[in-house]
Structure 1
Amino acid sequence: MNIDVYNPDNYTRGIPHQQFAWLRDNAPVHWHEHPGGHGYWVLSKHADVLAVSRDFRTFSAEQGFVLVDDLPADILDMARNQLLGMDPPKHGPLRRAVITRFTSRMLAELEPRVRAITREVMAQITSPQEVNFVESLAGDLPTAVICSMLEIPRDMWGQIRRWSDMQTSASDPDLGGTEEEVNQASVEMGTYGFQLATERKNQGGDDLISLLINQEVEGHQVSEMEFASLFVQLTVAGNETTRGLISSGLYELLKRPDLYRQLRENPDQLPLAVEEMLRWTCPLHYFRRTATCDTEIRGQKVKAGDRVVMLYSSANFDEEVFDNPLEFDITREHNPHLAFGHGIHLCLGANLARLEAKIFFEEFFRHFDKVESNAEPVFIRSNMIHGFKDMPLTLTPAA
């Protein structure tokens, strides 16, 4: 079989399940050539992705960041200030500073706010209307939630999303741009985060930026420069993951009208259903690590400096872990999916994304009587981001 997990064109029809299944069966630690002249190890099995995620001493996020492509030196330096690109001991205090703001109590207090924002998003549609669901409802909610938490001025929300799309979907001609434009978007976004942090330092605010920039954890206070990189991570992840989860999740339900009705009539089943949506849609195909020393994975020798790619969208369909993995089962109870990663780099906003998705579907079922799919959705052309860029629906509000 011709295996190519790098070419973004191979993801324009969704997860290439046939190739990934072949890898799991025949080459779970697979050497893949990169167009840049180097190569990398591709891990397709759930157990191997877990093991590498847990072993941050042997597999570094910081050495080359988390992308399989090389970043320009100045962008790499900035990227390493993002939590997802840090190794211990630098990683721990900053993560704990952030995680104190994403507690269960905070999320419980945030729920009414998320619900109010969701209802406002739904209320934009007052009569039967055709929309690109990805850009309208599915995209509007996470942008509004994260920007509200950060108290970003409303007139900047669209810019935040454009910066985010430029960085995550650079390989898609409809969403990305030239390498220079993408790098410029990253710099502009970080600069804006630095500006916000500087403005709110020691000003006594209670927005998320003020809470992060003005607290000390284990003797460490988040600097304006650290926050600039953290800002990029929070806003990009806050937009991309939830948008993909909601749009792809709804698509799978619309393909299965019985499941759609089941959830609409039994919204208490949404928490399990959201976990299956996460497993199935898997917002990120991969993240990379770099070996810090000579080691082995499944008996395969891996040299210090080798790139190792954890293929989440393969691990989430590993037959050794999931019963009938190609069945979309909203009642699946054993579901150790890796949609949010694992280990010290587990996604900070995982529970916020779950909350947003649960509330979104509760309110969506209430607000719309009829939902019609007008055409097949179009996937983002990306070997990293798994999601739609276009999903045309006609939505008819309840009377």
Structure 2
Amino acid sequence: MHIDLVNQDQYASDGVPHDQMRWLRENAPVYWHEGDPVRGWPGFWALTKHADVVHVSRNSNLFSSARRLALFNETPDETLELQRMMMLNQDPPEHTRRRSLVNRGFTPRAIAKLEERIREICHQLLDEAEGRSDVDFVRDISAPLPLYVICELLGAPVEDRDKIFEWSNRMIGSEDPDYADSPEEGTAAALEVYSYANELAAARRDQPQDDIVTKLLQPDDSGETLAVDEFDLFVLLLVVAGNETTRNAASGGMLTFFEHPDEWRKLLKDPALARPASDEIVRWVSPVNLFRRTATTDMELRGQQIAENDKVVVFYSAANRDPEIFANPETFDITRDPNPQIGFGGGGAHFCLGNHLAKMELRVLFEILADRAPKIQQSGEATRLRSYFINGIKTLPVTL
């Protein structure tokens, strides 16, 4: 079988190449994937088994996020140091220090206080969409929901959500002509977010409020604070991670329900299934397809010799359909229990900080959709993001 797990056109036309991933899991779970000299990508080890993705995730000492960063693309040496100030691109102990500072805003108690507001946002979005004939699930429902929540977390004006939406699209969609003409546009968007975060921090230092920004700018119990650059990079991470994952899990989840109407009927019959459904949606959609690590030493994995500094790429989409872990993995089942999906990471240092928030947003959204729009239907073709990183839906026309 021809293997190319980073063909962006494939993701844009057909989505995740599950046939290739299935073949790799069965025949070459630790697979040397050829690089692309034209784009400056070296060859890399592609890992597709659940156990291996968890192993890599939980052993930062063996698989570094900092050496060559966590995103698939190669980063010029001159920008590595700046990028390593972002939590995503750090290893313990530096990552541990930063994460403990940021955790203060994401405790289960802090997140639980947002549920009522998330409920209000979902009702408001449906109020605005009802009666219209041109509803796009992405534009009108799944994209604004996390943007409103991010504005809530940051204490930013709701009218800033369109700016945040546009910045996020340009950063994540820098390889998609609908969102950006060049990768340089993604860099420009990141600089705009950086500047926005700077202004936000300055405003909160002058006038503290009851929001995550104020909390993160204050010293913790031991007197530690986030430096200005650290705070700005955290906001940058939040704008992308807090937006893209929820937005694409919700869009992909809705599309999956259209493709599996029996599961939608199950949810209508028992809205309490929205809770396990949120995990199954994340497993099935895997909104983040991959992350990259760098081997810190020579090692052997499933009989393959991985050398120090080799590029290692973990594929969550593949791991989430591993038959060794999931019974009937090719079946979308909202009653699945247990469901050890790793769509938010395989544990370890980089387990998604906002996973509780994302699952709450999904649960509340689908509870309310089942109640208010039980006859929702797809009314046009879905279009996909041209990206091997985010398993994204750009448009999904619906009638409510």
The answer for the alignment partner of 2:228 in structure 1 is 224
The answer for the alignment partner of 1:66 in structure 2 is 70
Among all aligned residue pairs of Structure 1 and Structure 2, give the percentage whose two residues are the same amino acid: 40
Structure 2 CA distance for partners of 1:176 and 1:297, relative to 1, 3 Å: farther
What is the rounded CA distance, in whole Å, between the counterparts of 2:193 and 2:283 in structure 1? 30
Instruction: Single out whichever of 76-85 and 203-212 deviates more from structure 2.
Output: 76-85
Residue 255 of structure 1: how far off its partner (Å): 2.1
What is the rounded CA distance, in whole Å, between the counterparts of 1:120 and 1:74 in structure 2? 46
Which of the residues 279, 285, 299 maps onto 1:281? 285
Contact 2:64 2:295 in 1 (8 A): yes
Q: TM-score, normalised by structure 1?
A: 0.95
The answer for the alignment partner of 1:138 in structure 2 is 142
What is the rounded CA distance, in whole Å, between the counterparts of 2:208 and 2:254 in structure 1? 41
The answer for the alignment partner of 2:353 in structure 1 is 348
Residue 305 of structure 1: how far off its partner (Å): 1.1
The answer for the alignment partner of 1:251 in structure 2 is 255
Which of the residues 17, 37, 47 maps onto 2:51? 47
Pair 1:16-2:17 in alignment: yes
The answer for the alignment partner of 2:61 in structure 1 is 57
Contact 2:268 2:374 in 1 (8 A): no
The answer for the alignment partner of 1:29 in structure 2 is 30
Instruction: Single out whichever of 71-80 and 127-136 deviates more from structure 2.
Output: 71-80
The aligned runs of 1:145-224 (5 Å cut-off) are 145-201=149-205, 203-216=207-220, 218-224=222-228
The answer for the alignment partner of 1:321 in structure 2 is 325
**SS of alignment partner, residue 44 of structure 2:** strand
**SS of alignment partner, residue 71 of structure 1:** coil
The answer for the alignment partner of 2:108 in structure 1 is 104
The answer for the alignment partner of 2:98 in structure 1 is 94
What is the rounded CA distance, in whole Å, between the counterparts of 1:133 and 1:76 in structure 2? 38
Residue 119 of structure 1: how far off its partner (Å): 1.4
**SS of alignment partner, residue 172 of structure 1:** coil
Which of the residues 76, 82, 87 maps onto 2:86? 82
Structure 2 CA distance for partners of 1:37 and 1:168, relative to 1, 3 Å: closer
What is the rounded CA distance, in whole Å, between the counterparts of 1:158 and 1:141 in structure 2? 12
Instruction: Single out whichever of 107-116 and 226-235 deviates more from structure 2.
Output: 107-116
The code of the aligned residue for 1:250 comes to M
Q: TM-score, normalised by structure 2?
A: 0.95
Instruction: Single out whichever of 49-58 and 24-33 deviates more from structure 2.
Output: 24-33
Residue 55 of structure 1: how far off its partner (Å): 0.6
Instruction: Single out whichever of 59-68 and 217-226 deviates more from structure 2.
Output: 217-226
Structure 2 CA distance for partners of 1:32 and 1:143, relative to 1, 3 Å: same
The answer for the alignment partner of 2:398 in structure 1 is 393
What is the rounded CA distance, in whole Å, between the counterparts of 2:181 and 2:265 in structure 1? 41
What is the RMSD of the two structures over their aligned residues, measured on CA atoms? 1.6
Instruction: Single out whichever of 288-297 and 40-49 deviates more from structure 2.
Output: 288-297
Residue 116 of structure 1: how far off its partner (Å): 1.2
Which of the residues 296, 312, 315 maps onto 2:316? 312
Find runs of 4+ consecutive structure 1 residues off by over 6 angstroms. none
Higher strand share: 1
The answer for the alignment partner of 1:293 in structure 2 is 297
What is the rounded CA distance, in whole Å, between the counterparts of 1:189 and 1:115 in structure 2? 27
**SS of alignment partner, residue 255 of structure 2:** helix
After superposition, give the CA deviation of every residue in 1:328-358 in whole Å (9 maximum; x if it has no partner): 0111102111100021101111000011111
> Unaligned regions of 5+ residues in structure 2, if any?
none
Instruction: Single out whichever of 45-54 and 217-226 deviates more from structure 2.
Output: 217-226
Structure 2 CA distance for partners of 1:301 and 1:202, relative to 1, 3 Å: farther
Residue 217 of structure 1: how far off its partner (Å): 5.0
Contact 1:6 1:34 in 2 (8 A): no
The answer for the alignment partner of 1:379 in structure 2 is 384
> Unaligned regions of 5+ residues in structure 1, if any?
none
Residue 207 of structure 1: how far off its partner (Å): 1.1
